[in-house]
Structure 1
Amino acid sequence: MTDHDYHIPVMLSPCIEGLAIDPNGVYVDLTFGGGGHSKEILKRLEKGHLYGFDQDTDAESNVPEDERFTFVQANFRDFKKYLRLYGILQVDGILADLGISSHQIDEPIRGFSTRFDGELDMRMSQSAQLTAKEVLNTYDESHLHKIFGIYGEIKNAKTLAQAVVAERALHPFNTTENFKKVLNRFAPRGKEFKYFAQVFQALRIEVNDEMGALEEMLRQTVEVLKPGGRLVIMSYHSLEDRLVKNFINKGKFQGEVEKDFFGNLIRPLEPVHRKAITADAEEIQQNNRARSAKLRIAKKL
């Protein structure tokens, strides 16, 4: 399996340009996956070093044989701690592509895809405890309502939560097809696939605590980046993008940006571009997963 079979990297050139690579610098790819972004970074390094993180054991099969590269199997919410184990306190650039890899979606056994029948799993790390099956079969109605409404951004979240609780009393949920039979009753006609995708997204975010992990990771980037260092983050849905945008623009996730006595903004990062970068039509045609991607680049002040 090649890295491109595993996952076609989205907006590869803008990501690499955004890092403004110093050939002798230290870089971190927080979402190694198929290694597409990492391999491009390595092409531009001389005496520099790259640390690649991924919590998914499947990603390890894509690790390049290169003494300038170190693979760390860990969730990116712990990246500062792991870098310290390697004696790295500050780096020149950090990259994170928050999208789920094509490989994970295309593996029926992982339960991420609406296209295949598989176990309701959805764990990014196979060592994690919580699965989508457990969420659907044990969470109470109000908790399910919140997940579907906030993480899935679906309009009939309350009705769906009620239906899940009623259905599981008779038939516990085990497989994706099992669950989709219930979803079919509530999906808007002609928009079934989008509805399924939104509900599956909500479950995946809950199972992997993706919002909590993202907040923890973003806070650490400020401590780990050198002054002038670059942060390059690509997100695929509005919840993630809002967190990233607020953190870059305000230095926090909510509320207004703070100012000093002279009216200057108090924030640790500065956006390199005013607006998010999106994929062009040609890339979207070649790789459909690029259509929802938003790339934000920041520099540490």
Structure 2
Amino acid sequence: MSDARHIPVLLAEVLDALDVAPGKTFIDGTFGAGGYTRAILERGGEVLALDRDPTAIAAGQRLVAEAQGRLKLVETRFSQMEQAAAGEKFDGIALDIGVSSMQFDEAERGFSFRFDGPLDMRMSRAGRSAADLVNELEETDLANLIYLYGEEHGSRRVARFICQARQEAPILTTLRLAQIVAKAIPARPQDIHPATKTFQALRIAVNAELDELSQALEASERVLKPGGRLAIVTFHSLEDRIVKKFFAERSGRGRAASRLLPGEVAPPEPTFTLRPPQPVAASDAEARKNPRARSAKLRWAEKLPSPAEEK
């Protein structure tokens, strides 16, 4: 098993962005294998860690015991951080968006076509699985899903091949789906695997990842103290665009009263300020050591005293 699963991406950069120090309180919204949380604890911080995956929660109990009261681990979605915070305000929030290496390495979770396993992809082990979507969606809906969430330009051809194959037998395993997609989109040796984008699309749809991210960004605005930091690591353009847009909107609002047109209402004051340069990418050394870091981007901002938008 690769050591990469134990290495949190952009760890030093995230810790610096959060300004971790003894006595400060943090939310790790994507606990996973506990990499960010452990590093924050080692620097003297206190952590409310969240994860929707019951396997991660169970595995994290040892770290809870070691932390001796400085770590609370809650099974919930990071979009629900405000409820988990229960009125408390925090000095920093860290979010590592996407699937952890731990989940990719477990064939039974169905996230990866590197191993043959059930076509599942559910982080919380509840709700509709990837197999449900692949076998039940109409061809047009399936094609749209693969194009929207996977940015797969051959989505219509992929959907057609999937629908033809499922008429012979239900598509229930990762290997069978990967083989079907590979037939639909033959790849050259230097290309990524043809099924990469389709698997990404199904995972995002199954876990409502983009909606979760948008809700978490809005919740963070209400949970952070003035001066608190929000640090987010993303791994593909769909996530990064959401984060970039949120920070741009929340840091660029406000307009001088003298420049308003008659009857025009001033927009809310900015709630975040950005610290350039952004985004922050992994160093060449980290990318060589941990392949997961190659596509990672860190964006972060500091909370201003202005009140958050109301729900």
Residue deviations 1:163-185 (CA, integer Å, cap 9, x gap): 22222122211111211221111
Distance 1:295 1:55, change over 3 A: same
CA positional deviation for 1:83:
1.2
**1:166 aligns to what?**
164
SS of the aligned residue for 2:231 comes to strand
Q: 1:215 is aligned with what amino acid?
A: S
Instruction: Return the TM-score normalized by structure 1.
Output: 0.91
Q: How does 1:25-64 map to 2 (within 5 A)?
A: 25-45=24-44, 48-60=45-57, 61-63=59-61, 64=63
- Over aligned residue pairs, what C-alpha RMSD do you find? 2.2
% same residue: 36
Out of 247, 257, 262, which is 1:261 matched to? 257
Q: 1:166 is aligned with what amino acid?
A: Q
User: Given that residues 149 and 155 in structure 1 are in contact (C-alpha distance below 8 angstroms), is that contact kept between their aligned partners in structure 2?
Assistant: yes
**1:71 aligns to what?**
73
1:119 aligns with 2:118: yes
User: Given that residues 147 and 206 in structure 1 are in contact (C-alpha distance below 8 angstroms), is that contact kept between their aligned partners in structure 2?
Assistant: yes
SS of the aligned residue for 2:171 comes to coil
CA positional deviation for 1:189:
2.3
**1:82 aligns to what?**
84
Distance 1:290 1:156, change over 3 A: same
**1:137 aligns to what?**
135
Moved more, 203-212 or 18-27: 18-27
Distance of 2:72 and 2:286 partners within structure 1 = 30
| Residue correspondences, number | 291
Segments of 5+ residues of structure 1 without an aligned counterpart are none
**1:288 aligns to what?**
291
Q: 1:143 is aligned with what amino acid?
A: D
Distance of 1:236 and 1:145 partners within structure 2 = 23
Q: 1:113 is aligned with what amino acid?
A: S
SS of the aligned residue for 2:229 comes to strand
User: Given that residues 161 and 181 in structure 2 are in contact (C-alpha distance below 8 angstroms), is that contact kept between their aligned partners in structure 1?
Assistant: no
Distance of 1:113 and 1:189 partners within structure 2 = 18
Distance of 2:141 and 2:255 partners within structure 1 = 37
Residue deviations 1:224-270 (CA, integer Å, cap 9, x gap): 11111100000000000000011011139xxx956343569943112
SS of the aligned residue for 2:194 comes to helix
Q: How does 1:176-255 map to 2 (within 5 A)?
A: 176-190=174-188, 193-251=192-250
CA positional deviation for 1:141:
1.7
**2:303 aligns to what?**
300
User: Given that residues 182 and 194 in structure 2 are in contact (C-alpha distance below 8 angstroms), is that contact kept between their aligned partners in structure 1?
Assistant: no
